[in-house]
Amino acid sequence: MVKLFLLLTLCGFIILTYGRTSENLKVQLPDGSRIIGRYLTSDSGKGIRAFLGVPYAEPPLGDLRFKAPQKKKPWNFELKAHNDPPICIQRDPFRRDYEISGSDDCLYINIYTPEKIEKLLPVMVFFHGGGFMCGSGIKPFYGPDYLLEHDVIYIGANYRVGPLGFLSTGDDNSPGNFGLKDQVFILKWINENIEVFGGDKNLVTIFGESAGGASVTYHMHSHLSKGLFHRGIAQSGTNLAPWGAVAHRNVAQERAKIMGEKMNCPTHDNSEMMACLRKASPQKITEAFYDYFKWDTDPMVPFPPVIEHEHEGAFLTENPRFKFDMHGNDVPLMTGVTSEEGVLKTGALIYNKDLTADLLKNWERALPISLYYDHHNQQKQDEITKKIDEFYFNNQKLTLDTQKNFTDLWTDGWFFHAMIDYLKLRFSNEKRAPTYIYLFTHKGAASFSEIFKAGSETYYGTAHAEELQYIFPIRKDLHYFFNSIPTEQDKKISKILTKLWVNFAYTGNPTPTEVEGLIWKEANAFPLDYMRIGNEMKTETKGQILMSIEKDLNPERANFWNELKAHYPADDDDIEVTTRKTMKGEL
């Protein structure tokens, strides 16, 4: 009897415990769907309401594969949004990871709010990087611990990547840009639902890094996104970056056909081919894109965004490089780069001596592929390579003395010049909203160069994605960086960055009042006014001051790429001749 009594008491306790969900964690969407969240805490212990794995569209499976996202049907049960959803199916070439991970049922978001909300709060939506091939807007990378020290709504988002997100036949059978259309759908979902979570639908900031930064600027072009966001932060990426820019003529269609051949699908008719690809294994489709690399893991993004044919629901129908009157000119923008972005590529090339030897052996072939000027004819490629050799290496190529120049080359060719080109487009509109530029130069206890297979004991510079570890709790949630202890400067940089980013989300200005005693100047023309952030300064106070106001960002390197025009379309690309001539004269 005693045992029976204890058992019944225990069962009753479990039932009571199960029934004690706080009302503050229950939400009902306007369509009647019900969600139950969970309780988390910020870095300092502030309460967070977390709604994890909330579906924003129907799963893109079967006949919905290679199509725009479809509105999620209401559900008639309480969705327990307690656990992170799966990431979108992918392979990660940046970490040189050959494993397939994730699921093609992945269109979910994580929503984080303060425990107590007294008025509608600004909404910050993060679009992850990963070259449109990999990554995820959820843990283990992008948790709320630092941002939710502030009163904001933060949303981490998944969108389709790789061939499942961007394969295009150039017609209605598979128009492409599905990952970007997923992002639009997220913004529409926010517009319809965010107020029940305490968010202000009229104060939405989209921010992203790398491909996420390029995504932000794509949304500033696309008419589908107009009015759905009100601030933009493009970190280390714009839609003019060669790896994230629209594919050159016919490239997307050719790669779609190659995918069809690899999946043993008929390729003589796009309709038949896509019907077959919709039935193919998502793992095998994802696995196949490594076969598109021509040298090492280049071209870095085999399936980038595309210019779509005119049709209902098209995300992009014109080349952003030649678009001056984008609606995003009306949206406040903050954008910047790290000082050694190129470590993303060069860290492994320098650290791995076999890769170094292979690059030097194949220099004239590898550079055009990696730096995205192999769409030109051979004579033009050779001319560009010769100019690069002279400017960056004094014709020495890669030696111990030119390793910094080596990283500068990829910094400029993949990131810096694309930002400069984008700003030229933006500055051409006199009525544009405020624009703020930064250079991140912080040398912390840990570095992303470790993630990029460059080794953990050598400092290669402030690498691509380096600022992310100060905005998000990456150190806590990944198995990287475990052998380093954050410095007091690291902790301060984290507070500075999140303050600047949240200020911008509230006001469109990162310093409506002084931060570290400084007011961030708007950039209105060249030479650029910008904010240098980090302990690697140009002055004698290096290592002591963490922010400084600067002017004229890498002017010689910017001018070199402007004159080189390596990433511009070749003369035989499908662009109207009159338009091309006009734009070449203005850019």
Catalytically active residues, by annotation:
210, 341
Which residue spans within 89-243 are E strands per DSSP? 90-92, 97-101, 108-114, 121-127, 153-157, 199-209, 231-235
What Cα–Cα distance (Å) separates residue 160 from each residue in 27, 51, 157, 298, 472? 27, 21, 10, 21, 22
Q: Which distant-in-sequence residues (6+ apart) come within 8 Å of 457 by Cβ?
A: none
Q: How do strand 153-157 and strand 121-127 relate by DSSP bridges?
A: parallel
What Cα–Cα distance (Å) separates residue 396 from each residue in 248, 389, 393? 31, 7, 5
Q: How far apart are CA 192 and CA 206, in angstroms?
A: 16
Cβ proximity of 447 and 467 under 8 Å: no
Q: How do strand 529-533 and strand 547-551 relate by DSSP bridges?
A: antiparallel
Q: How far apart are CA 373 and CA 389, in angstroms?
A: 15
Q: How far apart are CA 7 and CA 430, in angstroms?
A: 75
Q: Which of 52, 69, 49 is nearest to 61 (CA)?
A: 69
Q: Which distant-in-sequence residues (6+ apart) come within 8 Å of 399 by Cβ?
A: none
Q: How do strand 90-92 and strand 78-80 relate by DSSP bridges?
A: unpaired
Q: Which of 481, 482, 455 is nearest to 468 (CA)?
A: 481
Q: Which of 306, 332, 344, 292 is nearest to 504 (CA)?
A: 332
Q: Which of 32, 301, 284, 268 is nearest to 166 (CA)?
A: 301
SS3 of 58, please?
coil
Q: How far apart are CA 163 and CA 303, in angstroms?
A: 6
Q: How far apart are CA 453 and CA 346, in angstroms?
A: 10
Burial environment of residue 293 by CB neighbours within 10 A (0 to 12, 13 to 18, 19 or more): middle
SS3 of 517, please?
coil
Q: How many CA atoms lie within 13 A of 248 on its CB side?
A: 15
Cβ proximity of 273 and 267 under 8 Å: yes
Cβ proximity of 66 and 278 under 8 Å: yes
Q: Which of 353, 449, 338, 435 is nearest to 398 (CA)?
A: 353
Q: How many CA atoms lie within 13 A of 43 on its CB side?
A: 20
Which CB contacts under 8 angstroms, 24+ apart, belong to 297-301? 297/93, 297/94, 297/96, 298/366, 298/369, 298/370, 299/243, 299/369, 299/370, 299/372, 299/374, 300/93, 300/131, 300/243, 300/345, 300/370, 300/414, 301/131, 301/132, 301/133, 301/211, 301/243, 301/244
| Cα dihedral 55, 58, 62, 66 in deg (nearest 10) | -90
